[in-house]
Structure 1
Amino acid sequence: MSLSSTDWALLFLRVSGCLLLLWVHGLPKLLNFSRELTVIEDPLHLGAWTTLGLAIFAEVLCPLPIILGVLTRLACLPILAVLLVSLILVHPEWSLAEGQFAWLLLIIFVTVLIAGPGNLSLYGRLPGRRPAPAWLT
């Protein structure tokens, strides 16, 4: 299999976007869980525990399969949901400049959702695996 510059670009986009999300948002929530419970906004009225748990799921667990290129499109959905809730419900007063990091993450993960993981992904390289349907990778 020959790899194109698009495959390398998608790998770079997946890994860099996920590492930014993990480093800036996910790990601080996970490592400071008790403090985060007292400050997290709860726009959907699910309770602080549930809201923080969903945010950690989206910002810590979902980036891992995306980095590997496994269930990539599916793993983008919770991330996009958290970003949209943040931009629309939690911080609707933000100007474009104030919300630029969230908008850039939204652009990155929508691009990954549309394009998929590219050929540099773990799924499909595992022995005995049939190629995954496009919507699942």
Structure 2
Amino acid sequence: MKKALLEDLALLILRAGSGAMILTHGYPKLMRLIGDEPIKFMDLLGIGSTASLALATFAEFFCGTLLILGFKTRLATIPLMITMLTAAFVAHGADPFGRKELPLLYFIVFLFIMIFGAGKFSLDALGKKSLL
């Protein structure tokens, strides 16, 4: 197999895998956001519990979905990275490193995807071909 094909396949696996895994955090937040129960969520940035939950939901659920599809991939990683840094240093700021480790690992993965893009197996790449 050619190196470029392997790189694109690796980007697909990393992008779709990390997007699917972050959805397991975003979907419950979405259900809380649209549910009937009063919203109980940390007000991490002083903007209110509902707004904080909405921002985390947007990043983890909606941007996670965009990541899986490879659509607007680099833009989708920005809210995800901000959310992961907020989780690591604000929500878990006083916690031991073990609680910061997962959001920091996600941050590194999303940073990698932002730098290298979605790869050939993505809607971003499909859109580029239609412009030619």
More helix by share: 2
Same fold (TM over 0.5): yes
Q: TM-score scaled by structure 2?
A: 0.86
- 2:46 counterpart SS class: coil
**Contact kept in structure 2, 1:29 and 1:36, CA below 8 Å:** no
1:32 aligns with 2:32: yes
8 Å Cα contact 2:81-2:110 kept in structure 1: yes
One-letter amino acid matched to 2:67: I
TM-score normalised by length of structure 1: 0.83
Relative to structure 2, which stretch is displaced further, 99-108 or 77-86?
Answer: 99-108
Deviation at 1:126, TM superposition (A): 4.6
**Which blocks of at least 5 consecutive residues in structure 2 are unaligned?**
none
Give every structure 1 segment of 4 or more consecutive aligned residues whose post-TM-superposition deviation is greater than 4 Å: none
* Structure with the larger RCO, 1 or 2 (CA within 8 Å, 6+ apart): 1
Same amino acid, percent of matched pairs: 31
Over aligned residue pairs, what C-alpha RMSD do you find?
Answer: 2.0
Letter in 2 for 1:31: M
Q: Distance in 2 between matches of 1:108 and 1:10?
A: 10
Amino acid corresponding to residue 63 of structure 1 in structure 2: G
Report what 1:134 is aligned to: none
Equivalence for 1:51? 52
